[in-house]
Amino acid sequence: MAFLKTPHLASAFCAATRNITHQQILVKSHHAAASSPPPAEGFMPGVANSKFIKSTHHEALRNPELASVANGETKKMNTFQAVNDAMSIALATDDTACVFGEDVAFGGVFRCTMGLAEMFGRDRVFNTPLTEQGIAGFGIGMAAMGSTAIAEIQFADYIFPAFDQLVNEAAKYRYRSGGEFNVGGLCIRTPSGAVGHGGHYHSQSPEAYFAHTPGLKVVIPRGPIQAKGLLLASIRDRNPVIFMEPKILYRAAVEMVPVGDYELPLGKAEILTQGNDLTVVGWGAQLYVLENAIQLAQKKMPGLSVELIDLRSILPWDVETVCKSVNKTGRLLIAHEAPKTQGFAAEIASTVMERCFLRLEAPPQRLCSFDTPFPLVFEKFHVPDMIRCAEGIERAMKF
């Protein structure tokens, strides 16, 4: 185990990230470079200026999904603080809830569990030995007893040792027992996605592996407000949920987040911008890339009207919202950071082709990472960045 200084975590994206240069992020590689990692160059332009970021109290509460906290206070939080806030509420409102994983007791390598052990006690927020299959199995056991288990896998890249526990066990627990038992109280949180210099094992987006597993839910938020509401819903949902947190947004995305207890719906997409010419679907950090790609395309094609959808839930996914949109626009583009072949975009594209065949005016476009392992120094060439997505929009419109 080695400590790798990561002065550049998200630094290219947001001034707010400058304060992390003193932070040390624990990584599992024994080959951590002694020299500085390559800087995270601008494959993802500033989140801070995004129209989807709610930086005022009023903007934040305009969302009808937040009706339950509409009269409440909001507080400025970044994504890791919002995740922390959600867990704090989950622990406060459910005596059976526990948070555990590698290094969560001191606050977590991404600070998501800061202060929780002090507030709720070491029997409720505790370190486990370094074993992902153990963490997942332990969480399943707790949930099987009716307790709430909020488990952390340090990086989504390291969830694979727990694949058997999640796919063969958690996902099938209710079904195989005829409903005698279930592990609905289980939620697995894990940081995922590109971070500028994460290389093979600190960058992956493994959602498609789990999307092939009936019985699991898979959820990915796009920022602090969404992270808090979706995480609380995931923790309380009566099914096992894998909650993937785009780690690049931990510090980069800052919003006014309602301080109250609220949930956002699972299995439901959110339309971020209404449009008539093209439907664009994304999730997590990719939405900010798409936002910029759309702006770039609109410069080239004035008047282009795009409907941008945040899928939010990968499994089960909101077929209705996406197909309704494509039936209106006749064109579809999907973008994700995971590799293209068998990525989740393939599922969306084929479903849309089944259901919207007569309405489609162009082949659905899939903008994904290339089919290689996630490469260190080639990151900006690997991921579906603004240029590639804008190019895809043009292809869809000019077909």
Q: Which residues are catalytic?
A: 132, 202
**Segment lying near other proteins (by CB under 8 A), choices 57-65, 73-81, 316-324, 328-336:** 316-324
Does 138 sit near other proteins (CB under 8 A)? yes
Does 184 sit near other proteins (CB under 8 A)? yes
Does 354 sit near other proteins (CB under 8 A)? no
- For residue 320, how many other CB atoms are within 10 A of its CB? 12
Does 327 sit near other proteins (CB under 8 A)? no
Answer for the pair 7, 196: CB distance below 8 angstroms, yes or no.
no
For residues 167 and 174, give the distance between their C-alpha atoms in angstroms, rounded to a whole number: 13
**Segment lying near other proteins (by CB under 8 A), choices 37-45, 79-87, 108-116, 211-219:** 211-219
Name the H helices within the chain.
57-61, 79-93, 116-120, 132-144, 163-164, 173-176, 207-211, 224-236, 249-252, 286-300, 319-329, 344-356, 379-382, 386-398
**Segment lying near other proteins (by CB under 8 A), choices 172-180, 197-205, 359-367, 384-392:** 172-180
Tokens representing residue 54 in the block: 């709610």
HEC assignment per residue over 329-398: HCCEEEEEEEECCCCHHHHHHHHHHHHHHHHCCCCCEEEEECCCCCCCCCHHHHCCCHHHHHHHHHHHHH
Find the angle CA(301)-CA(286)-CA(363) to the nearest 5 degrees: 55
Nearer residue to other proteins within complex by CB, 2 or 145 = 145
Does 181 sit near other proteins (CB under 8 A)? yes
For residues 172 and 240, give the distance between their C-alpha atoms in angstroms, rounded to a whole number: 10
Tokens representing residue 382 in the block: 């690997």
Does 265 sit near other proteins (CB under 8 A)? no
Q: Is 32 helix (H, G, I), strand (E, B) or coil?
A: coil
**Which of these, 59, 12, 19, 74, lies nearest to 260 by C-alpha position?**
74
**Segment lying near other proteins (by CB under 8 A), choices 9-17, 71-79, 104-112, 162-170:** 162-170
Query: Letter for the amino acid at 159?
Result: I
Does 136 sit near other proteins (CB under 8 A)? yes
Q: Which of 64, 179, 302, 303 binds other proteins (CB under 8 A)?
A: 179
Does 142 sit near other proteins (CB under 8 A)? yes
CB of 337 to other proteins, least distance (A): 24
Nearer residue to other proteins within complex by CB, 39 or 121 = 121
Nearer residue to other proteins within complex by CB, 79 or 128 = 128
Number of residues that bind other proteins (CB under 8 A): 50
Does 84 sit near other proteins (CB under 8 A)? no
Q: Which of 44, 86, 90, 98 binds other proteins (CB under 8 A)?
A: 98
Interface residues with other proteins (CB under 8 A) are 96, 98, 123-124, 126, 128-129, 131, 133-147, 149, 161, 164-165, 168-169, 172-182, 184, 214-215, 217, 238-239, 267, 316, 319-320
